[in-house]
């Protein structure tokens, strides 16, 4: 292996030869343990599991041929840490450190399945041995995430063995830049970062733009709260992004690329950096790639923790070492972007789709999806849902199938209220529109948007006014302050929403919010401001009754807004255990042991400690 | 003083004194010092031949830059949508109440710096809190306080050992 990894590939045949060699080596190793080290599983301690499996592999008898690898996100984060054992693709969930020796002994050495670690269907009680038997995976279709969970993202050899960089070889050896752009056009690929702009059109404009050098940028500043699709791709399969950028750069005529990664994603930076280094060693990045006349290099820049830098012109300002303030776009960035040169910016997921389109053809890609939205889309499916995680679904699937079939329905038997898509620029879609399908234009019609792929499910306990307030506060804090409507308009909207959630709303507030929203949409400088009112307007559109309840009745129907509901103890359910009394920071609870307790409403500050601590759910919100 | 000059020189060389790499340079400086000391920034501005005000503009625009030293530990609480819905504001309140520190601030004894960030991308296991790079998932107000009391206890033990 070491011999292979240090050889520079000087032509297309070398790449294919290397792939064949890697495949033949792999035949020997039929046994492998894949430990998920994605964001969710890593947060649950999977790095340690990986170390333990590596130790077990090292200490095993010499005749046991097995390897352990840390792989990217499998998707079903809710049940993490996830470990998959080959052969048999045995899917173990919620694996803990003490399970490691058992898995190694039983499954690796004796070929037996450890039954208790298998996924069990909560509805039927049926156990699933492989991922594909689990409903969560059945409906999914993976393109951008195809190799996530299969390959070790720290080894370029794993990517190459799966056919990685063959799309690059194909492009360099047999396609003109125009043919590449046409193929992407046939695929109907649209930008996955949120706007949904046709990728091929952007590439062509940049190719035709005057000026040199030209730049390509990968936007990995995944700022939407509640979204981690790009993180999972950058960390789970960084080479797919690099290969996509290489192909785009060739089509556009660029020699320098940048990947802009969020400051909060240190592991993404590490993985990409390692991947770039390895690609350089093999001659897949740098001068005369694969012996051709095409040269391309990539630099990584870390963001500084500013949401607005996800906006293309702000991102470019940041790359120039300035505060990330957007500019108006009457001159497009494809003509004058970074350092006032033609610049093509695409999102991580968009780039990751490109190698697949080249390898399998634009027609194949366009075979999935709706008339105007082709291919698949990755979503981070999170919130008050049973199966939280990362999912990739064909465009055109209904929201209902995502929530019910993949997500497994609501958690704790609660009622569905809304699904929020599109991050802070998106909106909340209520139950009556759950049969709408995932499609750029359809979601926009509903007052939301596709966005980069956050999908947050909310239940009856979520106050929609508070959700609107949350996003408005988020955007108000993140507004760069360059244009007046965004800086002042959002502050005013937040002021009004704050009053409403405190029970100080007035008749006419909702209309005032509408006026401000219109002003923002019409006059703000960049997409952050233009779309900032979406969360407010979509909640007013579908949940006007909740606004009215806050304003007219001084009541929060979801019982979330402090001051607009009370805590009371249900005397029937209270066992008089005294836990609430002991934990109340204000001494507002009284009662004898083993007799129902009472809350003194005058003293109560509504901190909710009693509600949280009560083991018998006797504390109620009324 | 000579050390400071050397550090700045190293950082500037690392990026070939390219102004476009100002943010990475400042990130490296912060990684080295824990924050952005004014004297270092002044030297950096001299080396790059750009006004100090521009460095200040950058340092105050981006949330990740700090102009004051941090506490011994770094506590980051995620306030992304999912963490928010699942109770992060209550965790933040509990920490503020118990340790008398607001998000963005440092405790008076410099035990920890408390940051609230927008999203850490670990939404599937929300609410999430990160202490010195270690992730804690499914955090509650009570468990968050336990973790932080753990830090205070470790500190007390270490100090006692030093006295002995």
Report the C-alpha gap between A329 and A334 in whole angstroms: 10
- B66: which 2 tokens? 């700090």
Mean pLDDT for A170-184 is 97
Residue A1: band (very low, low, confident or very high) from pLDDT cuts 50, 70, 90: very low
Mean pLDDT for A449-470 is 93
Q: Are A11 and A291 in contact (CB under 8 A)?
A: yes
Number of other CB atoms surrounding residue A14 within 10 Å: 17
Mean pLDDT for A2-30 is 78
Whether the per-residue pLDDT at A360 is higher than 90: the answer is yes
Q: What is the mean pLDDT of chain A?
A: 93
Q: A437 forms bridges with which residues in the sheet? A: A398
| Tokens 């093999």 sit on residue | A282
A-chain CB neighbours of B125 within 8 Å are 40, 43-44, 77-78, 80, 388
Q: Is B64 on the interface with A (CB under 8 A)?
A: yes
A394-451: per-residue pLDDT in tens? 999 999 999 999 999 999 899 999 999 998 989 999 999 999 999 999 999 999 999 8
Q: A36 forms bridges with which residues in the sheet? A: A71
Report the C-alpha gap between A35 and A83 in whole angstroms: 5
**Which of A39, A135, A111 has the alpha carbon at shortest distance from A80?**
A39
Pairing of strands A66-71, A31-36: parallel
- Domains of chain A from N-terminus onward: 2-134 (3.40.30.10), 163-366 (3.40.50.11540), 376-459 (3.10.20.600), 464-552 (1.20.1440.230), 567-621 (3.30.70.20)
Report the C-alpha gap between A577 and A587 in whole angstroms: 16
A564-576: per-residue pLDDT in tens? 999 999 999 999 9
| Tokens 């075979």 sit on residue | A367
Q: A430 forms bridges with which residues in the sheet? A: A418
Q: Which of B58, B118, B122 sits opposite A228 (nearest CB)?
A: B122
Residue B163: band (very low, low, confident or very high) from pLDDT cuts 50, 70, 90: low
> Per-residue DSSP letters for B1-31?
-HHHHHHHHHHHHHTTT-GGGHHHHHHHHHH
Chain A: nearest CA to B120, how far in angstroms? 6
A320-350: per-residue pLDDT in tens? 999 999 998 889 999 999 999 999 999 999 9
Q: Is B141 on the interface with A (CB under 8 A)?
A: yes
Chain B: nearest CA to A362, how far in angstroms? 31
Mean pLDDT for A296-311 is 93
B-chain CB neighbours of A224 within 8 Å are 119
For chain A, the farthest-separated pair of C-alpha atoms sits apart, in whole angstroms, at 85
- A396: which 2 tokens? 């055109």
**Which of A114, A57, A107 has the alpha carbon at shortest distance from A87?**
A107
Chain B: nearest CA to A178, how far in angstroms? 32
Chain B: nearest CA to A65, how far in angstroms? 33
Report the C-alpha gap between A457 and A78 in whole angstroms: 14
Q: A418 forms bridges with which residues in the sheet? A: A430, A458
Report the C-alpha gap between A171 and B105 in whole angstroms: 52
B135 and A43 within 8 Å at the Cβ level: the answer is yes
Whether the per-residue pLDDT at A463 is higher than 80: the answer is yes
B-chain CB neighbours of A339 within 8 Å are 20
Chain A: nearest CA to B161, how far in angstroms? 30
Whether the per-residue pLDDT at A32 is higher than 80: the answer is yes
B84 and A380 within 8 Å at the Cβ level: the answer is no
At A91, give phi and psi (nearest 5°): -100, 105
Q: Are A429 and A418 in contact (CB under 8 A)?
A: yes
Chain B residue at shortest CA distance from A44: B137
B-chain CB neighbours of A43 within 8 Å are 122, 125, 128, 135-137
Whether the per-residue pLDDT at A3 is higher than 60: the answer is no
Mean pLDDT for A269-276 is 96
A39 and B61 within 8 Å at the Cβ level: the answer is no
Residue A43: band (very low, low, confident or very high) from pLDDT cuts 50, 70, 90: confident
> Distance from CA of residue B84 to its chain's centroid?
21
Q: Is B147 on the interface with A (CB under 8 A)?
A: no
Question: Over the Cα atoms of chain A, what is R_g?
Answer: 27
**Which of A368, A352, A358, A537 has the alpha carbon at shortest distance from A453?**
A352
B116-148: per-residue pLDDT in tens? 988 887 888 889 999 998 889 999 999 999 999
Chain B: nearest CA to A39, how far in angstroms? 5
Report the C-alpha gap between A317 and B23 in whole angstroms: 11
Whether the per-residue pLDDT at A354 is higher than 80: the answer is yes
B68-100: per-residue pLDDT in tens? 888 899 999 999 888 998 889 999 999 999 999
Q: Are B88 and B77 in contact (CB under 8 A)?
A: yes
Mean pLDDT for A151-164 is 94
Q: Are A450 and A196 in contact (CB under 8 A)?
A: yes
> Per-residue DSSP letters for A332-380?
-TTTS-GGGS-EEEEEHHHHHHHHHHHHH-HHHHHTSB-SSSBSEEEEE
B-chain CB neighbours of A223 within 8 Å are 118-119
The size of chain A, in residues, is 622
Chain B residue at shortest CA distance from A228: B121
Q: Which of A226, A320, A480 sits opposite B82 (nearest CB)?
A: A226
| Tokens 């943010």 sit on residue | B23
> What ipTM, to 2 d.p.?
0.84
Number of other CB atoms surrounding residue A279 within 10 Å: 24
Asked if omega into A87 is within 30° of 0 (cis), the reply is yes
Q: Are A570 and A460 in contact (CB under 8 A)?
A: no
Q: Are A101 and A56 in contact (CB under 8 A)?
A: yes
What is the number of H-type helices and E-type strands within chain A?
Answer: 27, 19
Q: Are A194 and A381 in contact (CB under 8 A)?
A: no
Q: Which of A306, A382, A470 sits opposite B124 (nearest CB)?
A: A382
Kindly give, in sequence order, each residue whose CB lies less than 8 Å from that of residue A601, ignoring residues fewer than 6 positions away: A566
| DSSP alpha helix (H) spans, A237-289 | 238-252, 266-281
**Which of A88, A96, A100, A99 has the alpha carbon at shortest distance from A129?**
A88
Report the C-alpha gap between A157 and A5 in whole angstroms: 7
pLDDT computed for residue B2 by the predictor? 73
Q: Are A408 and A122 in contact (CB under 8 A)?
A: yes
Size of interface A-B (CB pairs under 8 A): 142
| Tokens 């909740």 sit on residue | A546
Q: Are B59 and B65 in contact (CB under 8 A)?
A: yes
Sign for the pseudo-dihedral over CA of A604, A610, A611, A617? negative
Mean pLDDT for A346-356 is 97
pLDDT computed for residue A31 by the predictor? 85
B-chain CB neighbours of A384 within 8 Å are 85-86
Q: A44 forms bridges with which residues in the sheet? A: none
Q: Which of B58, B62, B85 sits opposite A305 (nearest CB)?
A: B62
Report the C-alpha gap between A6 and A16 in whole angstroms: 16
Q: Are B100 and A243 in contact (CB under 8 A)?
A: no
A264 and B135 within 8 Å at the Cβ level: the answer is no
Chain B: nearest CA to A294, how far in angstroms? 25
Report the C-alpha gap between A120 and A128 in whole angstroms: 6
The size of chain B, in residues, is 164
**Which of A299, A139, A341, A144 has the alpha carbon at shortest distance from A230?**
A144
Q: Is B122 on the interface with A (CB under 8 A)?
A: yes
Q: A379 forms bridges with which residues in the sheet? A: A391
A265 and B57 within 8 Å at the Cβ level: the answer is no
Kindly give, in sequence order, each residue whose CB lies less than 8 Å from that of residue A477, ignoring residues fewer than 6 positions away: none
B22-54: per-residue pLDDT in tens? 999 999 999 999 899 999 999 999 999 999 999
**Which of A180, A193, A163 has the alpha carbon at shortest distance from A354?**
A180
Q: Are A528 and A307 in contact (CB under 8 A)?
A: yes
């Amino acid at each position: 292996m070491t011999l292979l990894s240090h050889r520079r590939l000087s032509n297309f045949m070398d790449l294919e030869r290397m792939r064949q060699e890697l495949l033949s080596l792999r035949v020997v190793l039929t046994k492998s343990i894949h430990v998920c080290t994605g964001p969710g599983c890593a947060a649950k301690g999977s790095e340690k599991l990986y170390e333990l499996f590596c130790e077990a592999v090292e200490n095993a008898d010499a005749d046991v041929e097995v390897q352990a690898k840390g792989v990217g996100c499998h998707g079903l984060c809710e049940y993490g840490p996830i470990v998959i054992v080959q052969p048999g693709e045995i899917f173990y969930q919620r694996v803990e450190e003490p399970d490691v020796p058992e898995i190694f002994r039983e499954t690796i050495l004796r070929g037996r399945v450890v039954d208790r670690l298998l996924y069990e269907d909560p509805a039927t009680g049926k156990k699933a041995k492989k991922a594909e038997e689990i409903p969560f995976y059945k409906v999914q279709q993976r393109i951008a995430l195809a190799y996530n969970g299969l390959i070790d993202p720290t080894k370029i050899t794993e990517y190459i063995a799966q056919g990685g960089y063959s799309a690059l070889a194909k492009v360099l050896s047999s396609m003109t830049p125009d043919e590449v752009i046409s193929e992407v056009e046939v695929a109907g690929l649209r930008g996955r970062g949120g706007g949904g702009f046709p990728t091929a059109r952007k590439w062509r404009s940049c190719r035709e733009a005057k000026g040199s050098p030209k730049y390509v940028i990968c936007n990995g500043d995944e700022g939407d709260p509640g979204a981690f699709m790009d993180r999972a791709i950058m960390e789970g399969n960084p080479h797919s992004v690099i290969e996509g950028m290489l192909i785009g750069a060739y089509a556009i005529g660029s020699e320098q690329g940048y990947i802009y990664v969020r400051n909060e994603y240190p592991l993404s930076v590490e993985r990409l950096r390692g991947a770039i280094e390895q690609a350089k060693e093999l001659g897949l990045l740098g001068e005369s790639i694969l012996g051709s006349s095409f040269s391309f290099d990539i630099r990584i820049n870390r963001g500084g923790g500013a949401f607005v830098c996800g906006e293309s012109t702000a991102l470019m300002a940041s790359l120039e070492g300035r505060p990330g303030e957007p500019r108006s776009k009457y001159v497009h960035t494809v003509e004058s972007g970074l350092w006032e040169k033609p610049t093509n910016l695409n999102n991580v997921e968009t780039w990751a789709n490109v190698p697949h389109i080249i390898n399998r053809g634009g027609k194949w890609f366009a075979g999935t999806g709706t008339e105007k939205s082709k291919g698949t889309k990755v979503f981070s499916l999170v919130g008050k849902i049973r199966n939280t995680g990362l999912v990739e679904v064909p465009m055109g699937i209904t929201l209902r199938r995502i929530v019910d079939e993949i997500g497994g329905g609501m958690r704790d038997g609660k009622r569905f209220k809304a699904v929020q898509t599109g991050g802070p620029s998106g909106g909340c879609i209520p139950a009556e529109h759950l049969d709408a399908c995932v499609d750029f234009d359809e979601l926009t019609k509903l007052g939301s948007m596709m966005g980069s792929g956050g999908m947050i499910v909310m239940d009856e306990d979520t106050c929609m006014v508070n959700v609107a307030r949350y996003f408005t506060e988020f955007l108000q804090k993140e507004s760069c302050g360059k244009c007046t409507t965004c800086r002042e308009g959002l502050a005013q909207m937040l002021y009004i929403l704050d009053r409403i959630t405190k029970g100080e709303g007035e008749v006419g507030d909702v209309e005032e919010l509408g006026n401000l929203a219109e002003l923002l949409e019409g006059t703000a400088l960049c997409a952050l401001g233009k779309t900032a009112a979406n969360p407010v307007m979509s909640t007013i559109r579908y949940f006007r009754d909740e606004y009215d309840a806050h304003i007219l009745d001084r009541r929060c129907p979801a019982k979330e807004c402090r001051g607009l509901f009370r805590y009371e103890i249900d005397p029937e359910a209270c066992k008089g255990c005294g836990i609430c009394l002991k934990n109340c920071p204000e001494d507002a609870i009284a009662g004898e042991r083993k007799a129902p307790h009472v809350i003194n409403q005058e003293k109560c500050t509504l901190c909710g400690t009693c509600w949280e601590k009560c083991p018998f759910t006797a504390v109620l919100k009324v | 003083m000579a050390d400071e000059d050397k550090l700045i020189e190293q950082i500037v060389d690392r990026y070939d004194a390219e102004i476009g790499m100002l943010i990475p340079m400042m990130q490296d400086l912060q990684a080295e010092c824990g924050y952005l000391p004014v004297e270092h920034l002044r030297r950096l501005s001299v080396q790059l031949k750009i006004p100090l005000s521009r460095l200040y503009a950058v340092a105050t625009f981006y949330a990740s830059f700090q102009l004051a030293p941090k506490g011994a530990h770094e506590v980051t609480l995620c306030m992304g949508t999912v963490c928010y819905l699942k109770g992060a504001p209550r965790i933040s309140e509990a920490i503020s109440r118990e340790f008398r520190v607001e998000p963005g601030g440092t405790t008076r004894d410099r035990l920890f710096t408390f940051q609230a960030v927008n999203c850490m991308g670990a939404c599937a296991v929300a609410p999430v809190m990160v202490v010195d790079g270690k992730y804690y998932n499914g955090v509650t107000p009570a468990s968050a306080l336990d973790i932080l009391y753990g830090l205070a206890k470790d500190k007390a033990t270490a100090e006692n050992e030093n006295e002995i």
